[in-house]
């Protein structure tokens, strides 16, 4: 394949004329009682409102967002499966606080444990899954901190998997929004985060117990998609709440509220403000074709490349839309290439400002052409 395959495809899309305006967090006049808060667009990561966004605070059970994220990634990578059996250790069963009363030695499915973490904030289920995915709770905590660094969570240090009180365990509203954004990108987690009430069967006597979601917005806020609550005497009342309306997906984080009603009120006010003033414009969807590349030595000469994820940009309501889309392909691609390999990036600009991007992948294997195929092409070209 010649080097000219490695090029910059400049595909300028003018949706309409006008200016792109990002949020000015200082413009928002909101009465937020929580000590720290952030409103973030889940598609672009743009912050629409902030109050002490980088103050390091104990997150209580909001910690479990990272635990759930690592579980989701293990599921999608095929390292574990929802139907896997997990044996409960004495350590997991000994966890206090919110729990589903697991017993040492009993067997539970991954599906049941993940549901119990997401819905009931079960500390015992959390430790059981951490041990299953990481081999030990200590190893899993190392994975949590490593993933936090990869996400740019610079205000964070995890010491445990569930947020029970312990020294040197902290994060910030901004970092919680970042990991919430990443968790919500995993579509399979939605069925757990949006479950209001359910039953689980636990213990060696197989007792059925009811569980209900600690995030009351799941039932009481239109379009709610998650995410997680938290409470300890030290952390007070914490919440990461998300909601989707039309194409706009927002995340509201509130930390250190004096009461539970205050955290839900603050999150509701933040989400209402966001939906009233902003909208997301979809540039392309996951698996949408964004480019065609010619592989002269490929089994298939012309291969369509697609967006890995949905790509949207955020604007103020009423503003006109004027975006440029550019597709960049990695240079000197070597065959064969497995399906779903990242081969480039599609970027959206407003003038010279980058306002959104997503990876480009191939939705089929790209194999080398056989000698016979190459000979036929040479003959066809000569003819």
Q: Calculate the CA 48 to chain-centre distance.
A: 18
The count of other CB atoms within 10 Å of the CB of residue 309 is: 15
State the catalytic residue, choosing from 61, 98, 172, 240. Answer: 61
- Mention every residue, 6+ apart, whose C-beta is less than 8 A from residue 4: none
Q: Are 338 and 364 in contact (CB under 8 A)?
A: no
Q: Give the SS3 label for residue 195.
A: coil
- Mention every residue, 6+ apart, whose C-beta is less than 8 A from residue 174: 38, 47, 50, 53, 54, 155, 253
State the catalytic residue, choosing from 43, 121, 240, 242. Answer: 121
Q: Calculate the CA 364 to chain-centre distance.
A: 25
Angle at 171 between CA 166 and CA 172, to 5 degrees: 145
Q: Give dist(CA 353, CA 355) in Å, integer.
A: 6
| Kind of pairing between the strands at 36-41 and 47-51 | antiparallel
Q: Calculate the CA 221 to chain-centre distance.
A: 20
Q: Give the SS3 label for residue 244.
A: strand
Q: Give dist(CA 251, CA 267) in Å, integer.
A: 9
206 is written with which tokens?
């197989």
| 280 classed as catalytic | no
| 212 classed as catalytic | no
94 is written with which tokens?
């000994």
Residue ranges of the alpha helices (H) in the chain?
64-76, 90-93, 110-120, 123-134, 137-150, 173-184, 190-193, 217-220, 260-277, 371-382
Q: Which of 241, 248, 238, 236 is nearest to 218 (CA)?
A: 241
State the catalytic residue, choosing from 34, 43, 51, 64. Answer: 64
| 185 classed as catalytic | no
β-partners of residue 105 are none
Active site residues: 61, 64, 121
């Amino acid at each position: 394949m010649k080097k000219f395959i490695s090029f910059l495809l400049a595909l300028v899309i003018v949706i309409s004329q006008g200016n792109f305006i990002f949020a000015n967090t200082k413009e928002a006049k909101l009465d937020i009682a929580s000590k720290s808060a952030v409103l973030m667009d889940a598609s672009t990561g743009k912050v629409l409102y902030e109050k002490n966004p980088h103050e390091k605070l104990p997150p209580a059970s909001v910690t479990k967002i990272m635990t759930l994220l690592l579980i989701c990634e293990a599921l999608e990578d095929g390292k574990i499966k929802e139907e896997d059996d997990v044996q409960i250790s004495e350590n997991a069963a000994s966890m206090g606080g919110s729990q589903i009363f697991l017993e040492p030695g009993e067997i539970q499915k991954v599906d049941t444990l993940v549901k119990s973490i997401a819905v009931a904030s079960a500390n015992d289920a959390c430790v059981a899954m951490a041990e299953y995915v990481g081999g030990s709770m200590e190893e899993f905590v190392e994975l949590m901190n490593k993933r936090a660094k990869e996400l740019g969570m610079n205000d964070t240090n995890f010491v445990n998997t569930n947020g029970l009180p312990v020294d040197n365990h902290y994060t910030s509203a901004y970092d919680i929004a970042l990991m919430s954004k990443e968790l919500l990108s995993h579509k399979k987690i939605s069925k757990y985060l949006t479950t209001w009430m359910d039953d689980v069967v636990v213990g060696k006597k197989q007792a059925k117990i009811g569980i209900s979601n600690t995030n009351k917005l799941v039932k009481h806020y239109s379009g709610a998609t998650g995410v997680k609550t938290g409470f300890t005497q030290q952390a007070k009342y914490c919440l990461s709440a998300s909601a989707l309306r039309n194409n706009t997906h927002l995340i509201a984080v509130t930390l250190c509220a004096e009461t539970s009603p205050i955290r839900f009120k603050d999150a509701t006010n933040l989400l209402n403000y966001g939906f009233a003033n902003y909208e997301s414009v979809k540039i392309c969807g996951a698996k949408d074709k964004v480019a065609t590349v010619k592989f002269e030595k490929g089994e298939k000469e012309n291969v369509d490349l697609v967006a890995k994820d949905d790509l949207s940009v955020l604007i103020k309501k009423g503003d006109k839309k004027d975006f440029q889309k550019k597709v960049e392909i990695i240079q000197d691609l070597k065959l064969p290439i497995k399906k779903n390999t990242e081969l480039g990036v599609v970027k959206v600009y407003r003038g010279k400002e980058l306002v959104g991007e997503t990876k480009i992948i191939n939705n089929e294997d790209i194999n080398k052409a056989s000698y016979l195929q190459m000979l036929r092409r040479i003959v066809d070209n000569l003819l």
